[in-house]
């Protein structure tokens, strides 16, 4: 402010500042375009004709609008069931993961004898695991093989997410609240459920995003542990659809190569469209989730950068 006038002085921009701002804006527009264009291309290609995609004509806008790819995907008898399975696995698994992670994070945020050992114990598991075969044998021995329970329980806790939650609790919730609760006769369980959880809405939302996206995109777990087709999640079924489309493409190319007069078949072109449609179907829920919870996601990244 100017002395005695009470008016604000406007800070002028130099010529160099204007150049820097212009170049900075241009670079960010270019980066934004590089990020958004592949997403736009996938959406456009999914509603274009198979011939146009195979010929490389689809660049910015749909060519010969067609829903043949979506028709081929949704005609698969397992798709709707797998979609429901993925929703169940994602919601139930994420809820369980958030609860367990918050409990572990709260425990590690308190001061107790041996805390350093338990911190090291958890961190050790981030870098070293027993491997897939011992894990498979253990889960099979526990009776979890080919069960819905396994899809919900497995990979329940991410140590990285637990460290983020611990940092949030340590830095955002004052210890004076715990001392006041203890004076009032509250136990750890009472303090956790009545004070910690209500004050941790932000980190709970962040963990829900992390776990939800991870579980929604998981196809490998079902590939290893699930035999019953009725229990497969969406990603595994989409992988099977793409594989079958590619298998059909390979077969038609084989027949064409050995000269029965058949040119590139409809199956070859349809396989290209099916790939784009599978990407749209599988990523649409995740994109919607990010749009509505973006502010929590950004804050969660910031939380992870704090010392705790």
Q: Does residue 255 lie in a domain region?
A: no
In a domain, residue 272? The reply is no
**What domain range includes position 187?**
74-232+279-304
Q: Quote the pLDDT of residue 70.
A: 79
pLDDT of residue 258: 40
pLDDT given at position 255? 45
Q: Name the phi and psi angles at 197, rounded to 5.
A: -60, -45
Residue 170 within a domain: yes
CATH number at residue 187: 1.10.3720.10
Residue 52 included in any domain: no
Structural contact between residues 259 and 252, judged by C-beta atoms closer than 8 angstroms: no
Residue 21's pLDDT is what? 86
287 in any annotated domain:
yes
**Reported pTM:** 0.73
Q: Is residue 105 part of a domain?
A: yes
Spatial distance between the Cα atoms of 215 and 211, rounded to a whole number of angstroms: 6
pLDDT of residue 95: 93
* Residues of the chain where predicted confidence (pLDDT) is lower than 70: 1-12, 245-272, 293-308
Identify whether 169 is part of a domain.
Answer: yes
Q: Is 3 left (phi over 0), alpha (psi -120 to 50) or beta?
A: beta
Provide the pLDDT for residue 254: 42
Q: What is the 3-state secondary structure (H, E, C) of the chain?
A: CCCCCCCCCCCCCCHHHHHHHHHHHHHHHHHHHHHHHHHHHHHHHHCCCHHHHHCCCCCCCCCCCCCHHHHHHHCCCCHHHHHHHHHHHHHHHHHHHHHHHHHHHHHHHCCCCCHHHHHHHHHHHHHCCCCHHHHHHHHHHCCCCCCHHHHHHCCCCCHHHHHHHHHHHHHHCCHHHHHHHHHCCCCHHHHHHHHHCCCCHHHHHHHHHHHHHHHHCCCHHHHHHCCCHHHCCHHHHHHHHHHHHHHHHHHHHHHHHCCCCCCCCHHHHHHHHHHHHHHHHHHHHHHHHHHHCHHHHHHHHHHHCCCC
Count of structural domains within the chain: 1
Specify the pLDDT at position 145. 92
Residue 186 lies inside a defined structural domain of this protein:
yes
């Amino acid at each position: 402010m100017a002395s005695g006038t009470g008016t604000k002085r406007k800070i002028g921009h130099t010529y160099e500042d204007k150049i820097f701002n212009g170049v900075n804006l241009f670079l960010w527009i270019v980066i934004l375009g590089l990020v958004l264009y592949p997403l736009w291309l996938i959406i456009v290609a999914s509603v274009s004709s198979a011939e146009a995609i195979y010929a490389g004509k689809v660049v910015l806008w749909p060519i010969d609008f067609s829903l043949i790819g979506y028709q081929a995907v949704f005609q698969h008898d397992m798709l709707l069931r797998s979609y429901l399975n993925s929703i169940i696995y994602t919601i139930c698994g994420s809820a369980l993961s958030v609860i367990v992670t918050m409990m572990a994070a709260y425990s590690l945020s308190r001061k107790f004898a041996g805390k350093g050992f338990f911190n090291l114990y958890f961190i050790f598991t981030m870098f070293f695991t027993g491997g897939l075969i011992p894990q498979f044998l253990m889960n099979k021995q526990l009776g979890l093989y080919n069960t819905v329970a396994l899809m919900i329980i497995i990979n329940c806790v991410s140590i990285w997410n637990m460290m983020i939650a611990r940092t949030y609790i340590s830095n955002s919730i004052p210890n004076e609240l715990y001392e006041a609760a203890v004076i009032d006769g509250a136990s750890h369980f009472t303090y956790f459920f009545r004070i910690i959880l209500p004050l941790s809405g932000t980190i709970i939302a962040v963990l829900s995003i992390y776990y939800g996206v991870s579980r929604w995109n998981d196809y490998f777990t079902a590939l290893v542990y699930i035999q019953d087709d009725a229990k497969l999640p969406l990603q595994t079924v989409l992988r099977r659809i793409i594989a079958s489309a590619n298998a059909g493409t390979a077969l038609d190319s084989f027949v064409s190569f050995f000269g029965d007069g058949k040119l590139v078949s409809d199956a070859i072109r349809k396989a290209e469209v099916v790939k784009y449609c599978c990407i749209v179907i599988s990523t649409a829920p995740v994109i919607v989730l990010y749009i509505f919870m973006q502010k929590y996601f950004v804050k969660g990244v910031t939380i992870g950068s704090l010392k705790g």
